Structure 1
Amino acid sequence: MQRPRLIATDLDGTLLRRDGTLSARTVRALRTAVDAGAEVVVVTARPPRFLDVLAAATGLTGTAVCSNGALVYDIAARTVTRSLALPLSTAREVATALSAAAPGLGFAVETGHTFLYEPSYRLLLSGNARSELAVASLTDLWLSDVPIVQLLAHSVRFEADMLLALAENSVGGAAQFTHSGGRGLLEISAPGVTKAATLSALCAERGITAQEVVAFGDMPNDLTILRWAGTAYAMGNAHPSVLSAVPHHTTSNEDDGVARILERLFDGD
């Protein structure tokens, strides 16, 4: 392919190593691409506050599509520039239906700045304690006046693939369901909110076509963007559904899979 105008990359399992860091090789490849005129857009399930920590450690700047497309974030300015919230009534409807389909679920709400969880929700992230706020019951999740960016459902019994199938069968098109590999974790957004929908809108504003985008990802929540981009690569460590759906593969995140492709595209003339 010709040199892309925009590089869209997932973070966990794609750009980042297992320890959450960027390798020196990856940093160098990204800088080479930017120096050549390409824009790098991070497209992640992570909320903006995670990008703040990453930017402080790596110098990462630019635009990020966060929370599976629900937020657009200016990393340098630390500002949300676009938000696509999940309606409260929809969140309550989905939680009720999923509780019936998969008993024992715990629920949490992501606002982009804070994370609210009820007692049955047990998947808390290390290093995130200052942003995690426990509430007394499921009902209390719906009392906050802060818009819901994502509803999260966690099960100690069902794997994420099973939860995804149960959600699609029981709630239909009420919301957008996906997962990013978290054990027993289902990620729920407003209907139509995906990584691809938000990135395509950003590209349209910049006069960039899908054919001018190269994308990288590893999990089901990356599939919309991998199918939309003109050229897409599944990581060597990707979920089986991603490996089967995406014809181009690179090496794993531990083996600098993104950097290897960017070097091929941007090193030398």
Structure 2
Amino acid sequence: MIASDLDGTLLRRDGTLSSRTLRALRSAESAGAEIVLVTARPPRFVDRLAEAAGLTGTAVCSNGALVYDIGTRTVVSSRVLAVTVAQRVATALAAVLPEVGFALETGNQILYEPAYRLRLSEDIDAELPVGSLADLWLTDVPVTKLLAWSDRIDADTLLAAARQGVGLAGSEVQFTHSGGHGLLEISAFGVTKAGTLAELCAGRGIDATEVIAFGDMPNDLTVLDWAGTGYAMGNAHPAVLAAVPSHTVSNEEDGVAHVLERLFGPPTAP
């Protein structure tokens, strides 16, 4: 199995999948490898990428909260975050960092309160504002992630503050970040990319030693550590570069393709 993150890893800076990398993925599939996308992104982003690049197969989305069948656009399994837990964690985090704004990711939409001012052009059709922070906790839609954002505090500082300052509420959730500016991502306790990928592999009879993984951000560390072979991208976060012994070149230089071509031979035509 080839397990790859998307942003900063498989995709270039402009969000596209290069023809070289696409050819390398197809050569690996022809050789018998299964390609699994393992991303912080929700299914709606994977759908757009799949349409543009002709991808099929399985994706582990929302940092492990969802397993998604790309071809049928179906959520196969989910591990959601209870809204009551999200509210407790947000309250504790706001006590430590009062300027932080909050949003709830559902996989289909982002519900956000007024203090959450992060806007992504690719999500303009999925954004749903609510009138106040209190209104955020009234949703009855399953939640995949609580998002905390600040325009003044970087993601590393947010992550450290959350882990150190949230107290007991932090034992109910998983904190991480994927490099978004000032963006902290919070999932149900125990939900990680590696945990979900491990369950997926167990169902397929694939051992961790048979998995090659690629990533660039702190939320990828669990996968890069769990997989038999993990590669940090040349553009990876310093903590990832320090923790992962095997490196490839950057996403802009088709680092995933470099490794796959070495393992599976020259790419075939797309």
**TM-score, normalization by structure 1:** 0.97
Q: Could you tell me which residue of structure 1 aligns to residue 138 of structure 2? A: 143
2:148 aligned with 1:153: yes
1:122 shift after superposition: 1.0
2:100 aligned with 1:105: yes
Unaligned runs of 5+ in 2: none
CA RMSD for the aligned pairs?
A: 0.7
Q: Could you tell me which residue of structure 1 aligns to residue 120 of structure 2? A: 125
Q: Could you tell me which residue of structure 2 aligns to residue 244 of structure 1? A: 242
Q: Could you tell me which residue of structure 2 aligns to residue 267 of structure 1? A: 265
1-side partners of 2:239 and 2:127: how far apart?
Answer: 32
1:174 shift after superposition: 2.3
2:54 aligned with 1:59: yes
Q: Could you tell me which residue of structure 2 aligns to residue 82 of structure 1? A: 77
Letter aligned with residue 46 of structure 1: R
Letter aligned with residue 47 of structure 2: D
Unaligned runs of 5+ in 1: 1-5
Structure 1 residue matching 2:245: 3-state secondary structure: coil
Stretch of structure 1 that moved more, 172-181 or 70-79 = 172-181
Q: Please point out which of 218, 221, 224 is paired with 1:220.
A: 218
Q: Please point out which of 78, 90, 94 is paired with 1:95.
A: 90
1:131 shift after superposition: 0.7
1:256 shift after superposition: 0.4
1:128 shift after superposition: 1.4
Q: Could you tell me which residue of structure 1 aligns to residue 194 of structure 2? A: 196
Structure 1 residue matching 2:2: 3-state secondary structure: strand
1:87 shift after superposition: 1.1
Q: Could you tell me which residue of structure 2 aligns to residue 35 of structure 1? A: 30
Structure 1 residue matching 2:137: 3-state secondary structure: helix
Give CA deviations for 1:135-188 in whole Å, capped at 9, x if unaligned: 001111111110111000001121111110111112232210000000110000
1:127 shift after superposition: 2.3
Give CA deviations for 1:102-150 in whole Å, capped at 9, x if unaligned: 1110000000011100100011111211110010011111111101110
Q: Could you tell me which residue of structure 2 aligns to residue 178 of structure 1? A: 176
2-side partners of 1:217 and 1:235: how far apart?
Answer: 6
Structure 1 residue matching 2:108: 3-state secondary structure: coil
Letter aligned with residue 34 of structure 1: E
Structure 1 residue matching 2:200: 3-state secondary structure: helix
% same residue: 69
Q: Could you tell me which residue of structure 1 aligns to residue 10 of structure 2? A: 15
Stretch of structure 1 that moved more, 102-111 or 121-130 = 121-130
**TM-score, normalization by structure 2:** 0.96
Structure 2 residue matching 1:143: 3-state secondary structure: coil
